[in-house]
Structure 1
Amino acid sequence: MGSSNAKQAASGPTVRERLANYKPTELRADLSHLTDGDKKALVKLADASDLLDAVYYEQIWSGASQLRQQLAERAATGTEADREVHRLFELFRGPWDRSRDNEPFIAGVGPKPKTANVYPEDMTADEFTAWTKTLDAADAKRAAGFYDVVQRQGGQLALASYADEYGALLRPAAALLREAADLAADASFGEFLRQRAAAVEDNRYLDSEVAWLRISHSSALEAAIGPYETYEDALFSAKAFFEAMVHVRDFAGTAMVDKFTGSLALVEQHLPIPAEYRNAELAPPPIVVVNQVYNGGDTAVPMTAAYNLPNDEDAIERAGSKLTLIKNVQEGKFHSVLEPIAAQLLAPAALAHVSFGAFFTHVLLHEVAHSNGPHRTVQGGHTVRSQLKELHSAFEEAKADIAGLFAARLLVDQGVIDDTSMEQFYATYLASAFRSIRFGLEEAHGLGQAMQLSYLLERGAFTYDPATARFAVDMDRIPQAVSDLTRDIMLIQGDGDKARADEFRAKYGVLSPPVKQALDSLDAPIDIAPIWVDIERLRAEAREPAAP
């Protein structure tokens, strides 16, 4: 790659302007209850996260690792402008601006490949489909599964396991996981780390997913480490990308949200869909509240505020799932991003109801709602992922958003939620819609939210006043519109109807003139840029020589 690649692209905002969209925010956790071993384990896990950064760059694009090294060298010896380019590259985990539909911000870089680097960039979907028909059942499952790269070998498509393809980075990461396991106070957390270390070396992840689900509620440490999300596979939404999120558990917060675990079946029974579309094997996920101390790999901005894992359907069928809420990230997003957006775009009556309680609870309900509704098609029992292909992630995020809002009304009516009103839920959701859309329509959460907002504006659930350029909530219309949207998305999923999904995306996955004007007028960060103060301190302490 030539040196021109380190220069800013000629079009679009400057690098400095793009950086200004991400507010540096210190993310802290209470470490006072950790043992010395736990603190040392956190440093080991942070070091492993840095290795998974390198794995992720190998996955995302064939030129990413080389460009990353080039930018780091320039940042170390060059100008402040060079350092800004490097910082932006690390925030976005690559040379594309995710908030501007993956527009390259470095000269000489082309469009973000739909294949990432987990398929050949010149491979078509039709070629892949024809090839999989020549494979035996086991290899066909691998080809369409999470943990294998598809490559060209001698001109023909072939499989390579993640363990083989990225072994030079995964083996030292596994060693660090084992070292952290020996240091951690909680035996179940240590068992997960040992199982995960084995998984990244032998490419068999099921046992380690089960071990993750069995981490004790008394463990002070939590972490998600490995290949999880499939958003970066824009061809099939099938291949998982490596990431690491390292947390300290918030025991008080976890105790507060435990009451929601019993609400999942109640919501499922009241979903506005025919009985055959409901999830008959629904199990409430355990919920943990954590504060994040470090991350790596597939963790580009916008920062993840919560997650419901695992994504592997085989693991879910064997052992269920677990919902993790990242409280310090949510607080940072609310105060740094959502409050300024609400102040600029919401009518006074709606603005008065925006609250962190509604934001936090809806994120919780969003993640719980991933379990609701159909995960396999009513006819044929295919996974929804396999049928909706590249649209699966956007529709799944939209489903979780709107079903979470549907659930909020039901739980308020039932008295399960007694400290947040529906006015607060709806107003906060409206402000958060603009927050999510700014992630870009090429990003699953951004596209999913754009479809929801367009639908609800069309139904009059949200309104726009051209005289004031402000948005408001119609309390009479919004309950039915939320119910209808929940139904429409779940029926598309349960039918596995790709054509209908394409039509829905074409109609609603766009920005109306008032929405586009509102987004263009905003003077607020898009998201937060994390400053890992706790890990920086722990790493500094680890480097200090012991007292004589």
Structure 2
Amino acid sequence: MTTNTAAVSPLSKQLARFKEIQVGGAQYLDRLTAGDREAIPLLVQVGKLIDSIYIRQHWSGNEALHAHIRSLDPRDAKLELGLELFKGPWGLDEEKFIKSIKEEDKDGHVHEKIHIPHEPPQHGNYYPDDIKKQEYLDWVASLEGQDRINAESYYHVVKRDAKTGQLYSVPYSEEYKDFLVPASELMTQAARLVSDQSLANFLKSRADAFISNDYVQSDVDWLRISKESALDVTAGPYENYTDKMFSIRAAYEFYLHARDFASSAILAKFSSRLQDMEDQLPVDELYKAKGLHPPAIVTVNQLYSGGDVAVPMTAAYNLPNDEAPIKIAGSKLVIIKNVQEGKFQSVLLPIARQVLDAEQVKKVEFEAFFQHVLMHEVAHSLGPHFLVHDKEKKVRTALEEYHSSMEEAKADIVGLYAVGLLLKDGTLSGGPDAASFYMTYLASAFRSIRFGITEAHGLGQAMQFEYLKEQGGFAYDNETKKFRVVMDKIEEAVKSLTTRILVLQGDGDKQKVKEFVERYGIISPEVKDALNTLEDLGVPVDVYPRYRILKDGTL
């Protein structure tokens, strides 16, 4: 029996759009104890198990596809790298780089062994493949009590009974038991080795959560990991981008970091300003939250990652997303400094040199990029999370498939608005000025849009770009084919967009949000030309990691 794998040419093109960077290394381990170092191989194994969970979550045929590619003789390194980076057979712009998996039987008949959809299923692998959106909504509406809670849970999948056709919920602890049980055991072992007690508490409680399916306490314990811990670990179900149908189900991800104490000390001062920034948002008081918990802010250097970590590489994250632990202990912002440095040097600077006015390129700085990423993550905590006229209904529930892109746009623009506030009151004195922030932001817009407008960050950035251009904050020179920031208009344009997005979220009017997305979530001809030029010149879209941690978890 022979196997025919139809790997198509887009894969070479997709891989060429990413530049490898070395991630992790012994230089980050100076503060680790012998116990911390002994725990690292165990935690890397957890990361690999969580990677297997996400492969299952991404698409119902994904496990079979990965297994098939690994079984090829000889091995196809390019296909393996593609699946490693994208976690499935679709790259940027959801372009499929594996057409199908076919095999020939002993009689010479060729049939499809694994059918690969044209694009990633909107429902991921959290719902039956044949489910319809209205069917799910009708089913949820028919439930009461705990059954309804489970049906709308971050941590349950939806199944269909083979005999009756009825939908029912299954907890993650059962659906992914084959990976979560060994991951729980490994985390328990690591908890006995690490030197910091607060980190040990998290590892133990998260190990318990993998079995119980109750993540609130372990999320709280994660938020309470001491800033003195030399190791930082994030492990569990968090982001809901894979559930494009409802933005509900959480995907598993894993990060192992070494704490960057010097940078963390500098950035921690921003957390105390959270409520002050909320109070100064340019919206009616109805749209402002009170009693916000300042997020813990830590800077780290990545050692290893797994799970929902497909390229583009995450440079920062603000977690958890579950409102329950946020109400108890706030949120935590993790800034991944070595990844950010790789992105800036390998991607952002080459983009800026090509698309920006020659004089404005000189103002593009790493610190402006670094600090805006920080403010982007802080800004996820700002603005309305529940509707202003229905305090029991979440914004994400009301906006459904539009929530992720609107939330990313909100975090970007509110973060930029907040930067302006902190510059004016002197909090950010001594660093980049307003022009550097705006011009670096403009260059970074092209970096995000290149991910494609089918992706939440790319669509969110496209909406911002077109709105700010319409307001006169950005301008395009037809002769030089370059873009520039219009300094006497950009501040008011940023303020206007901040107000617009916060009101759209707080009102929760899905039709108005849809109209906003359709109007501004586009790529204009001049932007498309600039993007094509970047492609022609071979400017990378993003970076991908080559971990220095060996297969046995040592460095």
TM range, smaller chain: over 0.9
Moved runs in structure 1, 4+ residues, more than 4 A? none
- C-alpha separation in 2, matches of 1:525 and 1:400: 24
Structure 2 portions without partners, runs of 5+: 101-115
Asked if the contact 1:40–1:538 (Cα under 8 Å) also holds between the matched residues in 2, the reply is no
Q: 3-state SS of the aligned residue for 1:25? A: strand
What are the equivalent positions in structure 2 for 1:318-467 lying under 5 Å apart? Answer: 318-381=328-391, 382-418=393-429, 419-467=431-479
Residue 540 of structure 1 and its aligned partner are, at CA, apart by 4.9
Structure 1 portions without partners, runs of 5+: 542-548
Partner of 2:541: 526
Residue 16 of structure 1 and its aligned partner are, at CA, apart by 2.0
Q: Percent identity between the aligned chains? A: 47
- C-alpha separation in 1, matches of 2:49 and 2:86: 17
Q: Per-residue CA shift, 1:99-125, capped at 9, x if unaligned?
A: 22x111101222210011101122112
- C-alpha separation in 2, matches of 1:148 and 1:42: 30
What are the equivalent positions in structure 2 for 1:71-82 lying under 5 Å apart? Answer: 71-74=69-72, 77-78=73-74, 82=76
Residue 538 of structure 1 and its aligned partner are, at CA, apart by 6.9
Asked if the contact 1:96–1:104 (Cα under 8 Å) also holds between the matched residues in 2, the reply is yes
Asked if the contact 2:19–2:540 (Cα under 8 Å) also holds between the matched residues in 1, the reply is yes
Q: 3-state SS of the aligned residue for 2:99? A: coil
Q: Does 1:141 align with 2:156?
A: no
Q: Does 1:107 align with 2:99?
A: yes
What are the equivalent positions in structure 2 for 1:29-44 lying under 5 Å apart? Answer: 30-44=28-42
Partner of 1:536: 550
Asked if the contact 2:41–2:554 (Cα under 8 Å) also holds between the matched residues in 1, the reply is no
2:541 partner letter: I
Greater mean alpha carbon deviation, residues 469-478 or residues 312-321:
312-321
Asked if the contact 1:309–1:323 (Cα under 8 Å) also holds between the matched residues in 2, the reply is yes
Partner of 1:544: none
Change (3 A) 1:374 1:540: closer
What are the equivalent positions in structure 2 for 1:128-527 lying under 5 Å apart? Answer: 128-153=136-161, 154=163, 155-381=165-391, 382-418=393-429, 419-522=431-534, 523-527=538-542
Asked if the contact 1:349–1:472 (Cα under 8 Å) also holds between the matched residues in 2, the reply is no
Q: Per-residue CA shift, 1:40-81, capped at 9, x if unaligned?
A: 21211111110111111111111100100111222xx326xx
Partner of 1:116: 124
- C-alpha separation in 2, matches of 1:538 and 1:83: 21
Asked if the contact 2:253–2:306 (Cα under 8 Å) also holds between the matched residues in 1, the reply is yes
Provide TM-score, normalisation by structure 2.
Answer: 0.94
- C-alpha separation in 1, matches of 2:147 and 2:321: 20
Q: 3-state SS of the aligned residue for 2:553? A: helix
Greater mean alpha carbon deviation, residues 227-236 or residues 109-118:
109-118
1:137 partner letter: G
- C-alpha separation in 2, matches of 1:474 and 1:462: 6
- C-alpha separation in 2, matches of 1:38 and 1:526: 35
Q: Does 1:8 align with 2:7?
A: yes
- C-alpha separation in 1, matches of 2:232 and 2:444: 27
- C-alpha separation in 1, matches of 2:242 and 2:321: 14
Within the candidate set 57, 70, 85, 1:59 is matched to 57
- C-alpha separation in 2, matches of 1:83 and 1:218: 41
Q: Per-residue CA shift, 1:129-174, capped at 9, x if unaligned?
A: 1101121132212211200000101311100000001101110011
- C-alpha separation in 2, matches of 1:385 and 1:466: 40
Give me the CA root mean square deviation.
Answer: 1.4
Asked if the contact 1:39–1:538 (Cα under 8 Å) also holds between the matched residues in 2, the reply is no
- C-alpha separation in 1, matches of 2:269 and 2:256: 25
Provide TM-score, normalisation by structure 1.
Answer: 0.95
Change (3 A) 1:443 1:179: same
Residue 7 of structure 1 and its aligned partner are, at CA, apart by 2.1
Q: 3-state SS of the aligned residue for 2:143? A: coil
Partner of 2:80: 86
Residue 183 of structure 1 and its aligned partner are, at CA, apart by 1.2
Asked if the contact 2:40–2:553 (Cα under 8 Å) also holds between the matched residues in 1, the reply is no
Residue 360 of structure 1 and its aligned partner are, at CA, apart by 0.4
Residue 278 of structure 1 and its aligned partner are, at CA, apart by 0.5
2:545 partner letter: P
Residue 539 of structure 1 and its aligned partner are, at CA, apart by 3.0
